[in-house]
């Protein structure tokens, strides 16, 4: 019990653990929509596309999170525009925008002689979370979760059948923009925790693990949120006691839980599928015959 309580005696650890819990829930809920839409790469694109906005905002002396949000949103609009105006597939458009925005960000940092801490941006520093950062994370988490709760049916319809949603008269463009905004906000607040390099794992990992365990979207969100919280808190304690980077520790726990689910999921596990179970039973029977 003392091992659980000791880290919480430090204020920075309390801030970090609460922030990790909030992001574990937020990333799992938002990431579920990316998974069912098969748009996991979009999270990686936005995570890197915020760099030009960070560089410009830092140079102008305005809130860097505002610059990151604008830059990330513009990147998704460009992807949608390329897809609608040409025969280029969405995955190719995302790859192009991903590399272009990353290069532009690096170029702006050099030209503007920005003192933006790239190491902090790439790998995060959850132990440096302040009360203000925690408040912003809490506000964004509540805003996104309340939005998902209110518009759950519309989001569900749009996610699985966008053409049908459009035919029913739903404002699909507005829904798409709202979903992209939620994803961008989630990535921006997650950068403080794990950084750009690892943010996609936190966004996708808990949700895809839950996907192997349950069937319904709302169940996927709930189970994913539990997995996200467990992974985030466990990673924080591993970071504290082993003196390793917290972001990497969180992501490794997420990856480890995914491997366990991949192998032992009751319905989809590699080692627990019905055909695997019957094959194992046949092997056991053959071994028994050989012993006789």
Is residue 59 in a domain? yes
Tell me, what's the pLDDT at 127? 74
CATH number of the CATH domain containing 37: 1.10.3470.10
pLDDT in tens, 66-78: 888 899 889 988 9
pLDDT in tens, 248-282: 888 899 999 999 999 988 878 888 876 655 555 55
CA–CA distance, 210 with 226 (Å, rounded to integer):
9
CA–CA distance, 162 with 172 (Å, rounded to integer):
7
pLDDT in tens, 103-141: 998 888 888 877 776 666 766 777 778 888 888 889 999
Hey, which bits of 5-118 come out as E strands? none
Is residue 60 in a domain? yes
126, 163, 151: which is closest to 29 by C-alpha?
151
Structural domain boundaries, residue 266: 15-291
Which residue stretches of 161-171 are H helix?
162-167
CA dihedral for 161, 164, 166, 170, sign (positive or negative): negative
Q: What single-letter DSSP state applies at residue 273?
A: S
Is residue 146 in a domain? yes
Number of domains in the chain: 1
Dmax over CA atoms of the chain, in Å, equals 82
Q: Which two tokens stand for residue 80?
A: 């949608």
Is residue 185 in a domain? yes
Q: Which two tokens stand for residue 84?
A: 């609608």
Is residue 5 in a domain? no
167, 172, 200: which is closest to 47 by C-alpha?
200
Is residue 117 in a domain? yes
pLDDT in tens, 176-201: 888 888 888 888 888 767 777 678 88
């Amino acid at each position: 019990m003392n091992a659980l309580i000791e880290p919480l005696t430090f204020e920075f650890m309390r801030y970090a653990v609460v922030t990790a819990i909030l992001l574990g829930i937020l990333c799992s809920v938002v990431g579920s929509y990316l998974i069912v839409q098969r748009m996991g790469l979009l999270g990686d694109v936005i995570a890197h596309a915020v760099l030009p906005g960070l560089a410009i905002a830092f140079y102008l002396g305005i809130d860097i999170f505002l610059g990151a949000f604008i830059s990330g949103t513009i990147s998704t609009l460009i992807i949608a525009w390329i897809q609608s105006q040409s025969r280029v597939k969405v995955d190719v458009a995302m790859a192009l925008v991903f590399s272009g925005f990353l290069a532009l960000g690096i170029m702006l940092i050099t030209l503007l002689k920005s003192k933006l801490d790239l190491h902090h941006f790439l790998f995060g520093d959850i132990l440096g979370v302040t009360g203000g950062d925690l408040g912003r994370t809490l506000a964004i988490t509540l805003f996104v979760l309340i939005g998902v709760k209110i518009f759950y049916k519309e989001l569900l319809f749009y996610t699985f059948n966008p053409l049908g949603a459009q035919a029913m008269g739903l404002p699909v463009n507005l829904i798409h923009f709202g979903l992209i905004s939620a994803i961008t906000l989630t990535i921006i607040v997650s950068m403080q925790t794990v950084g750009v390099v690892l943010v996609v794992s936190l966004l996708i990992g808990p949700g895809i693990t839950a996907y192997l365990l349950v069937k319904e979207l709302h169940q996927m969100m709930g189970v994913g949120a539990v997995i996200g919280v467990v992974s985030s808190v466990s990673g924080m304690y591993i970071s504290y006691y082993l003196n390793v980077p917290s972001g990497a520790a969180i992501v490794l726990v997420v990856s480890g839980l995914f491997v366990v689910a991949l192998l032992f999921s009751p319905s989809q596990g590699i080692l627990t599928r019905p055909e695997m179970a019957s094959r194992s039973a046949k092997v056991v029977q053959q071994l028994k015959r050989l012993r006789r």
